[in-house]
């Protein structure tokens, strides 16, 4: 048993020492470079703890930085240069992002082209939906159904524009990729876009990349036992890329099948072949991540990015964060369709954001078109459904140093929802609305 019992976090908080955190960090870095032997990570973390015990003066509580320095040393000395590089790069990236957050402006993103943001902001001003106060005023005036109609019209026009661009490139494009962060509305957008393209005479063949997950036991997890499905390395990227290349060449491939109940992948399960006029349709978090489609020429791909680019100021005059909208959507969807406790969704969200910032956001500028899936009317609906939960979580996590990420998000969303007029009746929201993907009652099958 280790003599190290506590560790100092970057915030200054003193928390219990947990060797599993070291093992998980090493294993995560190994997975990033193709390694999947957790026993090696465990052996290396044993060495880290041994050195830590030998070098820590009596009465001194080691810091996160001190432990990370030892991890780097152990990885390099044991010949794991690639894993060490991945670990160092990730550590440097996290430090840079912390610094960026400390000096960030009130605007939610610098990754989306400003022309797109200006279009969305201009629409919000024209419809008197650019602040929470104006949203509340329109709700008080009985205009909630009108807000739904106006918002859905704008969203559908965005998808129509994307479909027309694809039609113009129909002689070149063989893969249409719908990408975007969690709960941005990829599934509904994929369905709607598919319907439009079918009406144009284009034949679409969906490829479900979830079937390419590695077995659950090979996924990284944290000290709470929470598995990380959010990383692109959770998918067999090399096999996806190989199958896409072969499909476009006219070959037949055997698609695997992933059983989410058992956490096992069954290879060579379903035969698939596409015809000369078919287009492969992919809906994936990581559709923009290079290794997934690196063997396919760029002109053969149409990449669409979707995110709720809400341009609305909330309490304190700050723009509402898009990630908070998606967090609430995922809570509702997971609770309604997956019997998943919303509290667990909140606690898992740090995985979601880490992966987005590393593997999705940096590639937005490689897309062919961006769809705005923000729905101003979802805020009053979420206010009615989730406000009491967030009020409870603020109290629950306030003094828990291990759950400060959950506390900060809960507090921020609680303050936002507190400022919004709730709407209990969702009947004005049509069955083909994107929001129905998350709150239920959709005419589409997901």
φ, ψ at 171 (rounded to 5°): -75, -15
- The residue extents of the domains of the chain are 6-102, 114-439
CA 301, 302, 308, 311 torsion-angle sign: positive
Please give the mean pLDDT across all residues of the chain: 89
The DSSP call for residue 80 is -
The two beta strands, 175-179 and 278-284, are parallel
**pLDDT at 149 > cutoff 90:** yes
Note the pLDDT of residue 71: 85
| Residues 403-412 pLDDT 10s | 989 999 999 9
Q: Where are the alpha helices (DSSP H) in 257-364?
A: 290-293, 322-337, 342-359
**pLDDT at 141 > cutoff 60:** yes
| Residues 207-221 pLDDT 10s | 999 999 999 888 766
CA 422, 424, 430, 435 torsion-angle sign: positive
Provide CATH code, domain 114-439: 3.40.50.300
Note the pLDDT of residue 49: 86
Tokens at residue 272, please?
Answer: 């698939």
Note the pLDDT of residue 106: 42
372 and 154 Cβ atoms separated by less than 8 Å: yes
Tokens at residue 5, please?
Answer: 């019992």
User: For residues 320, 323, 326 and 330, what is the CA-based torsion angle, rounded to 10 degrees?
Assistant: -130
- Dist CA 431 CA 424 (whole Å): 17
User: How far is CA 332 from each of CA 62, 128, 156, rounded to the nearest angstrom?
Assistant: 40, 27, 23
* Residue predicted with more confidence, 267 or 6: 267
- Dist CA 93 CA 77 (whole Å): 23
**pLDDT at 435 > cutoff 90:** yes
Note the pLDDT of residue 252: 96
**pLDDT at 223 > cutoff 70:** no
Confidence (pTM): 0.78
304 and 193 Cβ atoms separated by less than 8 Å: yes
Tokens at residue 70, please?
Answer: 């030892």
**Taking Cα atoms as reference points, which of 290, 306, 288 lies closest to residue 360?**
288
Q: Where are the alpha helices (DSSP H) in 231-277?
A: 237-248
Note the pLDDT of residue 97: 60
At 264 the three-state DSSP class reads: strand
Note the pLDDT of residue 95: 66
Share of residues in the chain with pLDDT > 70 (%): 92
Share of residues in the chain with pLDDT > 90 (%): 58
- Dist CA 396 CA 321 (whole Å): 23
**pLDDT at 350 > cutoff 60:** yes
């Amino acid at each position: 048993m280790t003599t190290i019992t506590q560790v100092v976090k970057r915030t200054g908080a003193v928390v219990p020492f947990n060797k599993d955190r070291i093992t998980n960090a090493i294993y995560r870095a190994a997975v990033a470079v193709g390694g999947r032997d957790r026993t090696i990570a465990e052996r290396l973390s044993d060495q880290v703890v041994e050195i830590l015990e030998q070098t820590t003066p009596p009465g001194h509580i080691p810091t996160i930085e001190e432990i990370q320095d030892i991890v780097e040393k152990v990885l390099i000395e044991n010949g794991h240069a690639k894993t060490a590089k991945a670990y160092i790069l990730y550590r440097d990236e996290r430090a840079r992002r912390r610094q960026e957050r400390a000096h960030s402006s009130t605007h939610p993103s610098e990754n989306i082209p400003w022309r797109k943001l200006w279009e969305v902001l201009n629409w919000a001003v024209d419809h008197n939906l650019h602040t929470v106060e104006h949203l509340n005023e329109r709700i008080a005036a009985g205009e909630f159904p009108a807000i739904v109609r106006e918002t859905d019209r704008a969203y559908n026009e965005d998808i129509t524009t994307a479909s027309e661009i694809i039609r113009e490139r129909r002689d070149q494009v063989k893969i249409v990729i719908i990408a975007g962060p969690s709960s941005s509305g990829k599934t509904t957008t994929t369905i709607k876009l598919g319907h439009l393209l079918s009406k144009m005479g284009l034949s679409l063949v969906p490829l479900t990349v979830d079937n390419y997950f590695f077995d659950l036991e090979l996924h990284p997890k944290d000290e709470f036992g929470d598995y990380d499905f959010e990383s692109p390395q959770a998918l067999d990227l090399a096999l996806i890329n190989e199958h896409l290349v072969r499909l476009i060449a006219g070959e037949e491939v055997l698609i695997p099948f992933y059983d989410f109940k058992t956490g096992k992948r069954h290879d060579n399960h379903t035969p698939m072949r596409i015809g000369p006029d078919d287009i492969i349709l992919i809906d994936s978090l990581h559709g923009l991540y290079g290794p997934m489609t690196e063997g396919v020429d760029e002109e053969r791909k149409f990449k669409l990015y979707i995110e709720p680019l809400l341009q609305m100021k909330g309490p304190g005059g700050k723009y509402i964060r898009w990630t908070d909208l998606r967090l609430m959507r995922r809570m509702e969807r997971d609770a309604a369709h997956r019997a998943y406790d919303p509290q667990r969704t909140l606690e898992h969200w740090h995985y979601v954001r880490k992966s987005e910032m590393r593997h999705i956001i940096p590639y937005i500028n490689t897309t062919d078109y961006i769809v705005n899936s923000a729905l101003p009317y979802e805020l009053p609906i979420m206010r009615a459904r989730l406000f009491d939960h967030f009020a409870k979580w603020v109290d629950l996590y306030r003094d828990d140093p291990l759950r400060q990420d959950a506390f900060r998000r809960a507090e921020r969303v609680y303050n936002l929802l507190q400022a919004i007029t709730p709407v209990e009746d969702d009947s004005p929201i049509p069955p083909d609305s994107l929001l129905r993907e998350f709150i239920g009652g959709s005419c589409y099958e997901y």
